[in-house]
A and B are shown apart, each in its own frame.
Chain A
């Protein structure tokens, strides 16, 4: 049950795009399509942004998109806005009803 690997930080200017990677193994990301992404602002609870690799819950802007290739999932935030500055975590189902989170990425809007 090792954590999925994310870059510690990512940044972009307003209006630009930023992509965050999430690397796992064939037992988690590579073996299942239950990959989700969460946004967490300081002192707040996480918020679901993407589920089942690329689906957006109601109310999440279409600037947020997800994808997966092999053992790596990605979250792209297009048209960066100041309110997108937050920590982002990926999560994957790892089989046997176990889940694993990523290490987290701090996104800074320059």
Chain B
């Protein structure tokens, strides 16, 4: 069974940093592209970032480019999202998601990030 567990969320002040982690089981992380998707309270889903299997090829939504960094450690079956210079509008539930055939087929329960002074 595919399992994805996010952690690392919390309350941070504007301009601060946070690092999210995502542990996976039930599949081999190194075989899959991985993504982060976020959902602000009461709002819709927003794609944030993708990392390919090689650990170095990454892509970002314009809204987070230059502030967020996605990375992975295939040996540890863990995905990361380093978030710097956080803004109030980054407040959301952040999902770690497995990529599959151009879609997203394995979702965690998310970790909540709140940016507020």
Nearest-CB residue, chain A, relative to B59: A97
Most B Cβ at <10 Å: residue of A45, A51, A98: A45
Q: In the complex, what residues of B have CB within 8 A of residue A46's CB?
A: 45, 95, 104, 107
Nearest-CB residue, chain A, relative to B98: A48
Does residue A69 face the partner (Cβ distance < 8 Å to B)? no
Q: How many interface residues does A have (CB within 8 Å)?
A: 28
Complex contact A97–B50 (CB within 8 A): yes
In the complex, chain B residues 88-117 whose Cβ is within 8 Å of any chain A Cβ: 95, 100-105, 107-110
Complex contact B95–A104 (CB within 8 A): no
Complex contact A1–B61 (CB within 8 A): yes
B41-79 contact mask (Cβ, 8 Å, vs A): 1 or 0: 000111100101000000101110000000000000000
Q: In the complex, what residues of A have CB within 8 A of residue B45's CB?
A: 38, 40, 46, 89, 91, 101, 104
Name B residues whose Cβ lies closer than 8 Å to a Cβ of A.
35, 37, 44-47, 50, 52, 59, 61-63, 95, 100-105, 107-110
Name A residues whose Cβ lies closer than 8 Å to a Cβ of B.
1, 3, 32-34, 36, 38, 40, 45-48, 51-52, 55, 57, 89, 91, 93, 96-104
Cβ-closest 7 pairs across A and B: A34-B102, A36-B103, A51-B103, A45-B107, A104-B44, A97-B59, A99-B47
